[in-house]
Each structure stands twice: as C-alpha cells, then as structure tokens.
Amino acid sequence: MIIKHILQEHALEWVKNHDHKASWHNDFKKWKKHLLLAEKYWPWVKKFYRGKDKWLGAFEDDKLYGVYWYTIVEKEMYDGFLIADPNKPGVGLKLGRELIKITKGQWEKNWTMCSKEYLKFNNRLGFVGTQHANLTPSDEVYLLWR
C-alpha cells in the first residue's frame, strides 16, 4: 500500500462516494467545526480550524482505500477525519502510522479527538493522553495527544 498526499477535492470526492457508519463522516466542513466547539474546554485547539488542510490517501493498484486529514500549526499537529474502506482491513492503521513518518520533525505535540469507541484505535497509534468533555449534550469527546 502506498501512502501519499492528495488534494482535498480528491479526498472529499472519495468520501462522498462511500457509505459511512457515522453521519459526521459525510460533511468535512461540519466535522471540522468541532475544533471551534472544543474551544470552551481546550482553547488552544481553535488554531487548528484555520490551519492549512493537508490530506493523505492510501492507494493500492492506483485505487484509493482511505483518506486522512491533518494540519500543522506552531509546531503542533492536529489530525482526524480518518476514513478507510471497511473491506480493506488495516488501512486506517497504515495511514495513522505513515502520518507520523511523513511529518517527522514538523511538530512537537500531536492532538486528536475521538468518541469513546475509537479510544483503543488511537492508543494503537501512540496517543497516550486523554481528557474528555461533552461538546454537545449527546457528544462525549475525548482529547488525546502524543
């Protein structure tokens, strides 16, 4: 599997053409607003909302199997919106591990947020710190870092 940078338009077109378990996967702009909602609990994450959007794609035989968004601001990285084809096991982990290699030396701390169901996955990617808050009454979110 080859991991490489792709254009946001390419990533979002791929996302649009796939069914997703979670409805928030259908709208990147709506998803990204969690960085503004989280400001109440973690004020420093707001800066990532305006950071430059960068995307990685996971390819095999020129077919895209997953996408991953990240941004780097002030020697800190925030990543998320990792979406992988459920019929291709291991794509999400591969994207997560390659992100670290591709961005090596560009950041000192890496942040992400997830729901409880994705904590173990993020721990496998090396995220160790955890705090949680309810961004909305029904959305308990965990802030993680490495």
Q: Domain limits at 77? A: 2-108
Give the predicted TM-score (pTM) of the model. 0.90
In the numeric block, the tokens 């961004």 are attached to 135
| Residue 140 confidence class, pLDDT cut points 50, 70, 90 | confident
Any domain includes 38 = yes
Indicate which CATH number applies to the domain containing 94. Answer: 3.40.630
Any domain includes 80 = yes
Of residues 86 and 134, the one with the higher pLDDT is 86
Q: How many helices (H) and strands (E) does the chain have?
A: 5, 7
pLDDT at residue 6, rounded to an integer = 98
Cα 86 to Cα 131: distance, rounded to the nearest angstrom:
28
pLDDT at residue 79, rounded to an integer = 97
In the numeric block, the tokens 């996302």 are attached to 15
Structure tokens at 99: 């992100």
Most confident of 33-37, 95-99, 140-144: 95-99
Give how many domains the chain has, as a whole number: 1
47: pLDDT strictly greater than 80: yes
pLDDT at residue 20, rounded to an integer = 59
**How do residues 49-64 score in pLDDT, each as one tens digit?**
999 999 999 999 999 9
